[in-house]
Amino acid sequence: MSGVIRKVLKYQASDAARSRWLLVYALFFFLATEGLLRFAGGDAKAVLSLMNVVLFVIPLVTLVLGTVYLYNAREFTELLLAQPITRGKLYAGLYLGLALPLATAFVGGVGIPFLVRGGGDPAFRGSLVALLGTGVMLTAVFTAIAFVIATRAEDRLRGLGLAIGVWLLLALLYDGAVLVIAATFADYPIERPLLALTFANPIDLARVLLLLELDVSALMGYTGAAFQQFFSGALGIAAAGGALVFWVAAPIALGARFFRRKDF
């Protein structure tokens, strides 16, 4: 890693790590995991319930905290840009300085309750790792989307509105839309369009990926079922995982492009 990226990351991350919001975020995952492990009855159920929490909470918190943080850092970003460093490196440092503390808070919050129990049931250790990995990927995706929003929208209220809009669209409206489409076109072969829809939504991709890994087809839903028809077993995991990597890379690249061209 370039020296400049590491330096920006170091200070940015130590600022973020001391923020009260990040602590609350980590504590939330810790309490949710601890509670589920105690009362859900078995690690399998706990991981499955956690999955729903993760898919819901990570995109929302990352988008909202990310955009608010970036708007608050606007003036300081200008001061950093006035230093003898390139925009590309500054972007990389700022991005990692936001994504890494968020990912660490999540991994720590979920991981510690499992760790103190000796890693949990060995049979579900793979699922736990998949859950943590998917959560980190979603953090990477939505931090990048927060960057895209905060660099493109000048007005912070509009930016925050956009962030919440993106979340509503991907986390809530999307499911409704899939349901309506599936019900309306029930007599037609709609597996392919549904499959395409899954690839269009990183949250749904993460869900399908985790369910394939956990092998719980009953909870797949429409898009998951369509997915399983096309890709079975390991191939499905590879396809969903690959698509999710694309979803991490694309907004990061887009954010970098906007950041380089922006007039501050």
Residues forming contacts to other proteins in the complex (CB under 8 A) are: 3-4, 7-8, 11-12, 14-16, 18-19, 72-76, 78-86, 261, 263-264
Least Å distance, CB 29 to other proteins, is: 21
d(CA 172, CA 137): 20
Judged by phi (left if over 0) then psi (alpha if -120 to 50, else beta), residue 42 lies in left
For other proteins, the closer CB: 71 or 199? 71
Residues 51, 210: contact at Cβ < 8 Å?
yes
SS3 262: coil
Residues 255, 66: contact at Cβ < 8 Å?
no
Token pair of 148 as six digits: 């895209």
Least Å distance, CB 15 to other proteins, is: 4
Least Å distance, CB 207 to other proteins, is: 34
For other proteins, the closer CB: 187 or 263? 263
For other proteins, the closer CB: 97 or 109? 97
For other proteins, the closer CB: 82 or 183? 82
CA-nearest of 237, 216, 218 to 227 is 237
CB count in 10 Å sphere of residue 10: 13
For other proteins, the closer CB: 94 or 203? 94
Least Å distance, CB 28 to other proteins, is: 20
φ/ψ of residue 141, rounded to 5: -60, -50
Least Å distance, CB 86 to other proteins, is: 5
